[in-house]
Chains A and B, each alone.
Chain A
């Protein structure tokens, strides 16, 4: 896919993950290079995203690209979702995976990836929780 194709897809990103009071929108954290990196790492997204791009082009003329309303774009996304569900799922997968790989998003959702932080550790197993089940007689079937 060309940079131009990816830039066309970018027009939909903020309708998929919009900005909220606390959270950034997709285009604020995702770059064209991020998408290129994901596409270069696997074959599985290339064909679906090409189809999504082609579909978008049938709905959006080059001349009108800069004058699109959100309603028009949302209608286009809904049409993609209903007529090409599998390809659309791959498109969503790319956006979600990149968005939620970003440090600034992790910070906002309180996803502390500091694996050495004590607060991120699960306590060791305490066998007191076995109190009830350990009293059950063996019930495996003889054979």
Chain B
């Protein structure tokens, strides 16, 4: 057995350079801290994105599929998800999943942090919206938020750094329909630049999702946070996969063992270790860090590491328009309009908590033929061309994004035999949607059908649960005040291991019913401030 090479101690070591790790690294480096950032993936060249080539829809189903199990890039690790209703999605590179996302960026609501108090379910977070408010604002500036303030569904926000993205003809139809129904709607906050912003190209109203990615109008943290952090002195090490975290017998973190792309193994000593590996990667790492002192995994005296996995189950509803073409293949995919009429608990509906709608678009003709959203695959055979003509450029969709309440049986475990290319045991997930979720999604489908018909759709189709929509990975190292019922405290430090922090979506006590990235990044920025204060 070859022992890992021991590297000189560093002040702060962050594992993972995605949404949270990059934000935290920048904040720490901005204040002069000495930080090393380990990333299992490599730098991602945006010119490698399929962009505007004719093959781009093929690539989005293959080497740029959102699902790592399909993509199987060198940097991806497999997730054993055959026991899950939903397939998790993520991307491994500098910038993490912000390299391959739609950048829909609403905030949680104040009520999301107090669901036990307000609705008698799950647990309250030990922090509030107001604890994160300044960090949300800072993050909006750093990532570059397009939007417009005045949304009555939220507390007031500062002026958005950029104007809203265009909503298109389809967006206008949805907005006017919501007005007629007396429902809330608002142009989505989005970390996609509507105008040139901090060296990134603004989106000028043309092109598809793939081409916008290539131009970098969609924010990714390699650009927004890592590059400025490098200028501050951050040390970045790519293609370094962390195998285990170590702590001394007194319960203080000592460092991490990682393997580089050549197979060489190192032990990096550190005063502080911060985990930012997402809601599957972080519990995987903690559970893989079993030892004599930590037989159930590091920081796991509560038994909750890996438990309470939450996803935001999605349903999809598509509607077909007659007449003129709409802009459905141009522009944003899912960061267009948000509807939050049904966000809060209403006891008359028969379920607790609520949901948002995101308006969606398709990619292009290939995805149209394959039945993007819930439109259903276009039949093969003699009716193929007629049906394609009926749909192409003539439909839009609403995604129902539901609050997912934490449940212990939804969990991440470690497989006892299968490993990745470095020999690190793979994560295995177990997830079933709850009765409450089912009722909530069914209500959302009916509401979306009403909205689309009001918008003028002559036919509406739905899919009750999108299996390949596990974008949001939350809850697996729950934040709380009680060490017997949570893994990290309100400062994001683990209850069990001093100087070991978790700052990704794992710490979510509850999920809310909006995309989590701004909240993840606000938590990461706040944690950086706490760490800096010692």
Contacts and interface: CB of A to CB of B under 8 A. Distances in A.
Contacts of A98: 58
Contacts of A143: 109-111, 113-114, 117-118, 128-129
A12 B392 CA distance: 24
B54 A102 contact: yes
B369 A96 contact: yes
Interface stretch (B20-28, B246-254, B378-386, B476-484): B378-386
B160 to A, nearest CB: 11
Nearest to B53: A101
Given A122-B330, A143-B117, A100 B152 contact: no
B interface SS class: loop
Contact of A115 (B152, B175, B187, B211): B211
Interface in A68-99: 74, 77, 89, 92-93, 96-99
Contacts, number: 163
A140 B54 contact: no
B184 A123 contact: no
Interface residues of B, number: 70
A130 interface: yes
B364 A111 contact: yes
Contacts of A101: 54-55, 57-58, 366
Interface string A94-116: 00111111110110010101011
Contacts of A142: 110-111
Contact of B206 (A117, A129, A132): A117
Nearest to A19: B385
A1 B111 CA distance: 56
Given A125-B166, A129-B172, A132-B179, A120 B206 contact: yes
Contacts of B385: 17-18, 20, 22-23
A125 B187 contact: yes
Q: Which 10 A-B pairs have the closest CB atoms?
A: A42-B62, A100-B365, A100-B366, A141-B111, A121-B205, A16-B380, A122-B166, A115-B207, A143-B114, A143-B110
Interface of A: 15-18, 20, 22-23, 38, 41-44, 74, 77, 89, 92-93, 96-103, 105-106, 109, 111, 113, 115-117, 120-125, 127, 129-130, 132-134, 136-143
